[in-house]
Amino acid sequence: MKSSIKLIMKPKWDEIEKIRNKSSNFLVSQGISNNSIQALTMVISELVENSVKYGKFLSPKNTVIINIHIDENIVTTEVINPVDNTVFKHLKKLDKTIQWIRGFQNPLEAYTERLRVVSKKPLNDEDSGLGLVRIAYEGKAILDFFVSEDNFLNVSALSNS
């Protein structure tokens, strides 16, 4: 079974709930189990939040694009947003975080380690840095990313449904 959906979102916080609902309706229509739907909507929310937080939306035409592909029991979510040079330090952190997660045998270890570090940080620290490890551990997903020549960041999460 192969199917996919493309959702387009304005980069605003209150749009995220609509995307969660649309994604979950699509996954229900494809017969995905409730547990997987919960995990996948968490993955989508975390990726979309990052896009809204770190993307560079210079023109009103700029949006966040969410592609969900299902192929047999593999679900891939891609979240795409525009970037520019000012986001470079975040792209480096994104790369470092993904590499760091890959260095653990088991994503639970990465998650536990991250929680330990976060618990020592001051409460007002904005970057709790938990989203991607949560995707890897709770979402049991493999993360990847690339930046296209025309400056769109594509972050993907692949998991078994």
Chain residues binding Mg ion by CB under 5 A are 50, 131
Examine residue 129 and tell whether it contacts ligand ATP (CB under 6 A): yes
CA distance 54 to 51: 5
Tell me the CB-side half-sphere exposure of residue 89, using CA atoms within 13 A.
Answer: 1
Nearest distance, CB of residue 4 and ligand ATP, angstroms: 21
Examine residue 153 and tell whether it contacts ligand ATP (CB under 6 A): yes
The strand pairing partners of 75, in sequence order, are 70, 159
Examine residue 93 and tell whether it contacts ligand ATP (CB under 6 A): yes
DSSP label at residue 84: -
* The token pair that represents 57 in the structure block: 């939306």
Find how far residue 105's CA is from the centre of its chain: 21
Examine residue 51 and tell whether it contacts ligand ATP (CB under 6 A): yes
Cα–Cα separations (whole angstroms), residue 91 to 84, 97, 112: 10, 10, 23
Examine residue 128 and tell whether it contacts ligand ATP (CB under 6 A): yes
Residue of the chain from 90, 138, 144, 147 that contacts ligand ATP (CB under 6 A): 90
CA distance 158 to 101: 14
Decide whether 30 or 38 has the Cβ nearer to ligand ATP.
38
Decide whether 34 or 89 has the Cβ nearer to ligand ATP.
89
Decide whether 4 or 130 has the Cβ nearer to Mg ion.
130
CA distance 113 to 62: 36
Decide whether 38 or 129 has the Cβ nearer to ligand ATP.
129
Q: What residue ranges bind ligand ATP (CB under 6 A)?
A: 46, 50-51, 53-54, 81, 87, 90-91, 93-94, 97, 127-132, 153, 155
